[in-house]
Amino acid sequence: MRKLYKTLRSMRLALILIAIIVVLAVIATLIPQGRDLSYYEQEYPAGISAVIRSLHLDAFYTSVIFLVPCALFFINLALCTFDRIFTRFRRHSPLRIGPDLIHIGILCIMIFGILSFYLHKEGYAELREQESLTLPNGKEVVLTAFEFFTYEDGRPKDWISHVRVLDDGGTIKEARIEVNHPLKVDSYKIFQNSYRYTPAVTLKAASGEFYRLDPGDTAHHNSSVYAFTGFEYNHDESMTVQIERLDVNPVERWILTQGDRFGEMTVDEVTVVASSGLQVVQDPMELYILIAFAILFTGLCIAFIQKRGDLKK
């Protein structure tokens, strides 16, 4: 048991574990995470895809091959920290709390990081202008406007969601959400995650009714069921849409542009609508992780100051 204790708290083991974790993390960054198994079979040779599947490198940070070295490193660091502090107290040695705070900070970061992984909650909503999402605390976030900017060559530059936050009493505040500039609402952070442009088609019945459809939507008119099942952009920037009548067998299918008539219906309008993808995150461990980093930084500063003092003696 004593030999095992010495092995687990040895500096050599710590260095080996750090090297293993770093090498594996570098490999994992080169492998896209969380894809379907078919993706790895198509993108990599059979032998490499088999290794990725068997070692779970497609979900590296929850795999045994990552968690076991991390657990051993945590035990090693905890034993070293305990042994260092206990030995100094027993020998009544001068305090050298810099390295101890560094170790404690790293241990806290690992503990709170694991808790954050399992306790944090995420949600996603895709909103068009004037649509809203309701947070679990009851507050409502309304997308009032959406801006999308590109570079001269057409590459995306920035996208911004202008929102209004509401509660039962009305508007709390108006804000904007940008990439890397999330909006904080109580314990929730709302991130600008994505954007999308999707077509919408408005059908007009001969009797005067209007039906606005997104891709995949259906319209019921009298005994007929019409579905918006596809679209295609033309060279002149117009759009062709595919409409199907589902209540007959075989299914009737039309390829149409704005103004075309089919059956009792007319394609009244074809538009392209911008939608903003917002990600909502709640992490109860965020403050604790910041405190852990503060402990680590304080330890580094104290260790640096003490080292400079030693050099001046």
pLDDT digits (tens, 9 = 90+) for 223-251: 899 999 988 887 777 789 999 999 988 99
User: CB within 8 A of 309, min separation 6: which ones?
Assistant: none
Where is pLDDT greater, at 4 or 48?
Answer: 48
Section 283-304 average pLDDT: 92
pLDDT score of 203: 94
Section 168-188 average pLDDT: 87
Asked whether residue 73 falls in the same domain as residue 40, the answer is: yes
Name the DSSP class of 181. Answer: B
Asked whether residue 98 falls in the same domain as residue 28, the answer is: yes
The residue to which tokens 């999402």 are assigned:
133
Where is pLDDT greater, at 33 or 131?
Answer: 131
Asked whether residue 233 falls in the same domain as residue 303, the answer is: no
Asked whether residue 193 falls in the same domain as residue 215, the answer is: no
The closest alpha carbon to 80, from 13, 1, 3, belongs to 13
User: CB within 8 A of 192, min separation 6: which ones?
Assistant: 159, 160, 161, 177, 178, 179, 181, 182, 276, 277, 278
pLDDT score of 89: 77
Main-chain phi, psi angles of 156, to 5 degrees: -60, 135
Asked whether residue 205 falls in the same domain as residue 193, the answer is: no
Asked whether residue 17 falls in the same domain as residue 112, the answer is: yes
Asked whether residue 61 falls in the same domain as residue 134, the answer is: no
Asked whether residue 13 falls in the same domain as residue 46, the answer is: yes
Where is pLDDT greater, at 30 or 116?
Answer: 116
The closest alpha carbon to 131, from 158, 160, 163, belongs to 163
Asked whether residue 163 falls in the same domain as residue 228, the answer is: no
pLDDT tens by residue, 62-85: 888 888 888 888 988 888 888 888
Where is pLDDT greater, at 287 or 167?
Answer: 287
Percent of the chain with pLDDT over 70: 95
pLDDT tens by residue, 95-106: 678 888 988 999
Domain residues for the domain of 112 are: 2-117+285-312
Q: Does the pLDDT at position 161 exceed 70?
A: yes
Q: Does the pLDDT at position 192 exceed 70?
A: yes
Are 294 and 305 spatial neighbours (Cβ–Cβ below 8 Å)?
Answer: no
Mean pLDDT over all residues of the chain? Answer: 86
Asked whether residue 100 falls in the same domain as residue 162, the answer is: no
Asked whether residue 9 falls in the same domain as residue 113, the answer is: yes
pLDDT score of 6: 63
- Reported as half-sphere exposure (CB side, CA atoms, 13 A), residue 48 has a value of 10
Count of structural domains, the chain: 3
pLDDT tens by residue, 128-147: 889 999 999 889 999 999 88
d(CA 116, CA 87): 33
Asked whether residue 151 falls in the same domain as residue 175, the answer is: yes
Section 2-26 average pLDDT: 76
Global pTM? 0.69
